[in-house]
Amino acid sequence: MNIILHKANTRGHANHGWLNAHHTFSFANYYNPERVHFGALRVLNNDIVAAGKGFGMHPHDNMEIITIPLQGDLQHKDNMGNSAIIRQGDVQVMSAGTGVLHSEFNHNSDKDVNLFQIWVFPNKENVEPRYDQISIREIEVPNEFYQILSPNADDQGV
C-alpha cells in the first residue's frame, strides 16, 4: 500500500469572509494538477461557516456527499422534501444521483460551524437521489476507529 501524506499547511485555502475553506484536492478556485482526487475520493474539505451564513440552493448530481459537523449545527434543505439540522456527532449522506438541489446554512446565530465535507464518486451513476442522517454520539468510543459509511447495504452505518 502506498501512503501519501498531505500536510495541513499544503492544502488549498479560500477565505470568503463568511466561509473559510481548506481544500485537500482541487476545488473551486484552488487547482493543483497533482491533487485532483485520490481514487474515488473527490473532495475532502474542512469548512468553517460564519454564524447564520451558508450556501443557498444549488445543484449536485452523480456524487456521494458526506457532511460531518465537528462543532456547531448545519441546517439542510433539499428538493426531495428533506429538512434537517445536522449536529456535531451526526453524519449526513446525500446521494445526488440523477440530480438534487439543496441548501446548507449555519443554524447557529452566535457561533461558527466547523465541518468536514467529503465527496466520493459513486460506484453507479444516475441512481435515484437519497438522503440519510445518523447520530454517532451513542456509538462513539474515544481513540477508536469504527465504520460509519459503506456502499454495502449489509454493513453497519449509513
Domain with 74, as residue range(s), is: 9-134
For residue 108, tell me if it sits in a domain: yes
- Write the single-letter amino acid at 25: F
Question: What pLDDT shows up at residue 53?
Answer: 98
Rounded alpha-carbon distances, angstroms, from residue 146 to 64, 108, 136:
20, 29, 10
pLDDT category of residue 157 using cuts at 50, 70 and 90? low
pTM value > 0.85: yes
Handedness of CA 87, 102, 81, 92 (dihedral sign): negative
Q: Is the pLDDT reported for residue 138 higher than 90?
A: no
For residue 152, tell me if it sits in a domain: no
Q: How many domains does the chain have?
A: 1
For residue 72, tell me if it sits in a domain: yes
Question: What pLDDT shows up at residue 26?
Answer: 96
Question: What pLDDT shows up at residue 152?
Answer: 77
User: Which CATH number do you get for residue 102?
Assistant: 2.60.120.10
For residue 149, tell me if it sits in a domain: no
For residue 3, tell me if it sits in a domain: no
What's the pLDDT tens digit per position in 86-134?
A: 999 999 999 999 999 999 999 999 999 999 999 999 999 999 999 999 9
Question: What pLDDT shows up at residue 156?
Answer: 63
Mean per-residue pLDDT of the chain: 93
